[in-house]
Amino acid sequence: MITLSVIKADIGGYVGHSSSHPDILAKAEEDLAKAQREGLLIDFHVTRCGDDLQLIMTHELGENNTRIHQLAWDTFVAGTELARQLGLYGAGQDLLADAFSGNVKAMGPGVAEMMFEQRTSEPVVIFMADKTSSGAWNMPLYKMFADPFNTIGLVIAPNMHEGFSFEVHDIKDSKKVMFSTPEEIYDMLVFIGAPSRYVVKSVRHRTTGNIGAVSSTQKLALIAGRYVGKDDPVCIVRCQGEFPAVGEVLEPFSHPNLVEGWMRGSHYGPLMPVALRDSNPSRFDGPPRVIAAGFQISKGKLVGPRDMFDDPGFDEARRQANIAGEYMRRHGPFEPHRLPLDEMEYTTMPGVMKKLQGRFTNLD
Ligand code: 13P
Ligand code: 13P
Ligand code: MG
Ligand code: MG
């Protein structure tokens, strides 16, 4: 069994929240190379999406392993030190704890990990987003694993026809629930159609039980109790065979669906699929971006990445995202561009409310 761990954090933006400084990536690369030499990692790949540093690692220690989480935490802490020296924006932004305590999960970084028996050929796509929240993968995961208009394999591939099971988390109440598709899709959509609260954590094959997808569900605002930056989640998807084909896994992103995030994490905007080099959200700190790194995993080695959205086939999605983004922007500070009131609780809203409290009088 091998474990694929993707652990990410924003430890400082360059310039503002738009991108990452190359020295930060080089430093993380150095730290993980050392861990690989020491035998902790089989392989690794360091990348970034916008201002978020992404540590992609393979190893044999399973999920939630303290040594792997410590390695990620230490890499973020060392990177933060460098980010401070460079005066990067929001250095250490996502490190919400003072010291490591066994698992980075509740400490700010985003985590997606899966342990599996590697197949002879193991194609995997790792999606990474900037300027959006966990929950952004709900619609794409639904389309990949439960929508035959997206994934024809659900109809014509005998090893997919039985469907998939979805683990959904209620991130406000810390509860989870399982749904079997296709027969429970109407029940499931009641929940996952509300991605600010109900988040698809993982998807498994119904009959083999094999893991197909895992997402990061950390909610920074819930951990910190205030707005400190957006979650900027990641999602790992295994492809082919009993899982959707690579093209079926990428297909949902041909529709730039509206997600939470963008400027100050407080707006709805379209999720634009881009090549890694274009993951520098600048216009109004956006629009939200998603990149897709494809790997073939071979004996635990990460053969890749291929930059999967670096394809003119996604040009139309990018154009539509710009059109939708422009349309949303013209609403300025008004909903539904701005997030609804309950999401504003983590911003200046409570302060303004308090200041004006005495000025509210009863209606006649
Ligand atoms: P300031 O810290 O400059 O107000 O930045 C706001 C912001 O970008 C929110 O993350
Ligand atoms: P990040 O979560 O990517 O740091 O963005 C924060 C923000 O407020 C952008 O306007
Ligand atoms: Mg940032
Ligand atoms: Mg970010």
pLDDT in tens, 130-175: 999 999 999 999 999 999 999 999 999 999 999 999 999 999 999 9
Residue 336: pLDDT band (50, 70, 90) is: very high
In a domain, 363, yes or no: no
Residue 228: pLDDT band (50, 70, 90) is: confident
Which residues, listed in sequence order, are joined to residue 127 by a DSSP beta bridge?
Answer: 235, 292
In this structure, the answer to whether residues 162 and 264 fall within a common structural domain is: yes
Which atom of ligand 2 has the smallest separation from the CA of 52? 3
In this structure, the answer to whether residues 153 and 257 fall within a common structural domain is: yes
In this structure, the answer to whether residues 197 and 249 fall within a common structural domain is: yes
- pLDDT of 221 reads 87
Which atom of ligand 2 has the smallest separation from the CA of 227? 8
Q: Is the CB of 264 under 6 A from ligand 2?
A: yes
With a cut of 80, say whether residue 47 has pLDDT above it.
yes
Taking only the tens place, the pLDDT of each residue in 59-79 is 999 999 999 999 999 999 999
Q: Is the CB of 229 under 6 A from ligand 2?
A: yes
Taking only the tens place, the pLDDT of each residue in 190-202 is 999 999 999 999 9
Rounded Cα distance between 45 and 237, Å, is 16
In this structure, the answer to whether residues 85 and 132 fall within a common structural domain is: no
Residue 311: pLDDT band (50, 70, 90) is: very high
Which of 91-105, 115-129, 262-276 bottoms out in mean pLDDT, i.e. has the lowest?
A: 91-105
In this structure, the answer to whether residues 234 and 149 fall within a common structural domain is: yes
In this structure, the answer to whether residues 104 and 124 fall within a common structural domain is: no
Q: What is the mean pLDDT of the segment spanning 327-338?
A: 97
Contacts from 94-101 at CB under 8 Å and sequence distance 24+? 94/9, 94/10, 94/11, 94/220, 94/228, 94/229, 95/9, 95/11, 96/220, 96/223, 96/224, 96/228, 100/69, 100/70, 100/73, 100/74
In this structure, the answer to whether residues 231 and 94 fall within a common structural domain is: no
**Order of strands across the sheet with 52-59?**
43-49, 52-59, 2-9, 110-116
**Domain end among 78, 95, 112:** 112
**Domain end among 112, 128, 145:** 112
CA distances for 291 relative to 72, 87, 209, 307, 324, angstroms: 21, 26, 28, 8, 19
Span from the CA of 232 to the centroid of ligand 4 (angstroms): 5
With a cut of 80, say whether residue 35 has pLDDT above it.
yes
Q: Which ligand is nearest to the CA of 286?
A: 2
Taking only the tens place, the pLDDT of each residue in 295-308 is 999 999 999 999 99
- pLDDT of 353 reads 87
Model pTM score: 0.96
In a domain, 364, yes or no: no
In a domain, 360, yes or no: no
- pLDDT of 307 reads 98
Rounded Cα distance between 103 and 92, Å, is 17
CB 57 within 8 A of CB 296: no
In a domain, 148, yes or no: yes
In this structure, the answer to whether residues 107 and 135 fall within a common structural domain is: no
Q: Is the CB of 230 under 6 A from ligand 1?
A: no
CA distances for 209 relative to 5, 39, 103, 264, angstroms: 20, 30, 26, 39
In this structure, the answer to whether residues 201 and 291 fall within a common structural domain is: yes
CB 223 within 8 A of CB 346: no
In a domain, 362, yes or no: no
Which of 92-101, 171-180, 248-257 bottoms out in mean pLDDT, i.e. has the lowest?
A: 92-101
- pLDDT of 165 reads 98
Domain count, the chain: 2
CA distances for 169 relative to 172, 174, 196, 238, 243, angstroms: 9, 7, 11, 21, 22
- pLDDT of 348 reads 78
With a cut of 90, say whether residue 349 has pLDDT above it.
no
Q: Which of 11, 15, 17 maximizes ligand 1 atoms within 8 Å of its Cβ, making it the mutation to test the pocket?
A: 17
Span from the CA of 361 to the centroid of ligand 1 (angstroms): 33
Question: What tokens does 306 get?
Answer: 């291929």
Q: Is the CB of 17 under 6 A from ligand 1?
A: yes
With a cut of 80, say whether residue 345 has pLDDT above it.
no
Higher pLDDT pick, 222 / 153: 153
With a cut of 90, say whether residue 279 has pLDDT above it.
yes
In this structure, the answer to whether residues 133 and 28 fall within a common structural domain is: no
- pLDDT of 55 reads 98
Taking only the tens place, the pLDDT of each residue in 6-28 is 999 999 999 999 999 999 999 99
With a cut of 80, say whether residue 249 has pLDDT above it.
yes
Quote the domain boundaries for residue 99: 1-112
What is the number of alpha carbons within 13 Å of residue 41 lying toward its C-beta?
A: 26
Tell me phi and psi for residue 259, to 5 degrees: -130, 165
Question: What tokens does 55 get?
Answer: 């540590």
* % residues pLDDT > 70 (the chain): 100
The CATH code of the domain that includes 6 is 3.30.70
Give catalytic residue positions.
10, 227, 230
- pLDDT of 226 reads 85
What is the number of alpha carbons within 13 Å of residue 360 lying toward its C-beta?
A: 6
- pLDDT of 1 reads 96
In a domain, 217, yes or no: yes
Which atom of ligand 1 has the smallest separation from the CA of 93? 10
Q: What is the CA radius of gyration of the chain?
A: 20
In this structure, the answer to whether residues 15 and 137 fall within a common structural domain is: no
CB 181 within 8 A of CB 172: no
Q: Is 329 exposed, middle or buried (0-12, 13-18, 19+ CB in 10 A)?
A: middle
In this structure, the answer to whether residues 250 and 236 fall within a common structural domain is: yes
Residue 227: pLDDT band (50, 70, 90) is: confident
Residue 342: pLDDT band (50, 70, 90) is: confident
